[in-house]
Amino acid sequence: MTGWEDGKYYGLGADFEPDWFLSEEQRQLRAELIELCRTVLRPNAIECDRTKTYPRANLEALAKLRLLAAIAPKAYGARGENHVGILMIAETIARYGCPATALIYMMHTVAVAALAYRAKGNKEIESLLRRMDSECLVGTASYTDPETGGHFWYPKMSGAKRVEEGWHVYKKSAWTTSSGYADWYVSQTTSPDFDGNYGNLSVFLFYKDEVKGSAGKWDAMGMHGNQSGPVEIDATIPADRIVGWPGDGALSNDETVDPVAMILYAGAYNGIGLSSIDVAMRHVTKKAHVQYGRRVADYPTIQDTFGRAIMEGSASRLYAYALAQALDGATEGGSWDIYYRDPKATPRSSKFAAWCFQAKFLAAKFAYEVPDKMLQACGGRGYMRDLELERIVRDSKAGWIMAPSNEVTAQLIGKWGLFGAGAIDWWNQRVDEPVLMNELGKLDDEGRRRIIDKLTSELETKKVAAE
């Protein structure tokens, strides 16, 4: 069962659309995108899931609609789309089209945001943004480090140094969407003057011939088209491939990568959760139990299940749209000019950081839990591939574990709430003195002497090295 052959979508209706957040232009774009989903993205979602192939055709279709550079400034021929707009785009692709494509689009747009943030005056970046839609240049954000897991802001296996030709950059990523398929990569490393402070980060742009990807190796529970995989970089690149300047990485994360990623996570995973409701609704409103003369949807327990699912979705969506609207209000409608005027401006991170992480948590939770309920509501038919719910259930699980995982996010927000933003020790730099003293207190005299000798020897070595 594919698409919606009679032209009318079978899912939740307009009564549950928070359309008041969208401009007339955005509503029009959504209608065009839904049609593209019906004719291209959705059939490819089914095919790419079955064959585990990369949905390049879907990305070409999105490029034709000028969506690859959607978030980039109008000055580069892009749409200059705002936060509400990209939220709607990600949600629409995931709900009506293809979750794996939505995730590819998400990682691509996060990377576009990192570029747009520091584009002004960098001819290489400006040229890439200008050509992105016309040449269908798909990018990705290659951040997660093999040694630090989902703590993607902590690149242990990386380094950069200044060389005559520009930069020599080394980086290993454990996971990267579109690995081996992307035309360009934005990646983060420790800075050229790295001295042990992992908060000193730099961002670089690479093209596909400078990167060792892992095309065709993705073998996972769901998101088959996503083709996430390791990436290795050991390349010398021209000087203008640094995005911003050495040491600009932490600000890039706080002000651009994190807020845009969290909004797009919310869009993609709210879309997946909604998609499960839509598909299940199509089934339960048709399937009848003749002995009672009732459809599955007529059972009060099923209505209760759908009611709860819809409200979970509405809560997460309203949260995300309200946040996106607030971000638009703080950034002159998602304009990058703010940063071209004042590169240190922090309209997003100074007020909205904690709100952004919560948007990811809520959407990933909605997408993780509700499709399971829909599967239960559909019975044995839901378990079968042709209903599409089985694919959506598998795809839906990725959000919770994607960085920052919902466990990490909950802990982050809990700590922030309890002790304030200053308590978040992103790079594990703060000494927990009460714990340290407590542990030392357990040592006998000999144990204490051993520690004192060790520390004294370390200090001596450091002193000699300094001389």
Site for ligand FAD, rule CB under 6 A: 107, 140-144, 149-150, 152, 173, 175-177, 223, 226, 228, 398, 401-403, 405, 407-408, 411
Q: Look-up: residue for tokens 């509700």?
A: 370
CB nearer to ligand FAD: pick between 29 and 403: 403
To ligand FAD, the closest distance from the beta carbon of 405 in angstroms equals: 3
CB nearer to ligand FAD: pick between 175 and 269: 175
Element (H, E) at 263: helix 258-284
To ligand FAD, the closest distance from the beta carbon of 174 in angstroms equals: 6
Distance between CA 22 and CA 30 in Å, rounded? 10
DSSP letters spanning 76-140: GTS----HHHHHHHHHHIIIII-HHHHHHHHHHHHHHHHHHHT-TT-HHHHHHHHHTTTTT--EE
To ligand FAD, the closest distance from the beta carbon of 428 in angstroms equals: 10
- Residue 344, SS3 per DSSP: coil
| 2: its two tokens | 């594919």
To ligand FAD, the closest distance from the beta carbon of 220 in angstroms equals: 7
Find the residue with minimal CB distance to ligand FAD. 149
CB nearer to ligand FAD: pick between 73 and 399: 399
Whether the Cβ atoms of residue 207 and residue 183 lie closer than 8 Å to each other = yes
- Residue 164, SS3 per DSSP: coil
CB nearer to ligand FAD: pick between 78 and 403: 403
To ligand FAD, the closest distance from the beta carbon of 252 in angstroms equals: 14
| 265: its two tokens | 């996570």
**Number of continuous H segments (helices) and E segments (strands) in the chain:** 16, 10
To ligand FAD, the closest distance from the beta carbon of 145 in angstroms equals: 8
CB nearer to ligand FAD: pick between 45 and 398: 398
CB nearer to ligand FAD: pick between 411 and 438: 411
To ligand FAD, the closest distance from the beta carbon of 25 in angstroms equals: 29
Cα–Cα distances in Å, from 351 out to 70, 84, 347, 354? 24, 17, 7, 8
CB nearer to ligand FAD: pick between 82 and 177: 177
CB nearer to ligand FAD: pick between 176 and 316: 176
Distance between CA 122 and CA 15 in Å, rounded? 46
To ligand FAD, the closest distance from the beta carbon of 118 in angstroms equals: 19
To ligand FAD, the closest distance from the beta carbon of 131 in angstroms equals: 22
To ligand FAD, the closest distance from the beta carbon of 181 in angstroms equals: 11
DSSP letters spanning 280-325: HHHHHTT-EETTTTEEGGGSHHHHHHHHHHHHHHHHHHHHHHHHHH
DSSP letters spanning 193-244: T-SS-TT-EEEEEEEGGGEE--TT----SS-GGG----EEEEEEEEGGGEES
Question: Phi and psi dihedrals of 10, rounded to 5?
Answer: -95, -5
Distance between CA 354 and CA 357 in Å, rounded? 5
Whether the Cβ atoms of residue 5 and residue 274 lie closer than 8 Å to each other = no
Distance between CA 57 and CA 188 in Å, rounded? 29
CB nearer to ligand FAD: pick between 21 and 368: 368
Element (H, E) at 251: helix 249-252
CB nearer to ligand FAD: pick between 288 and 401: 401
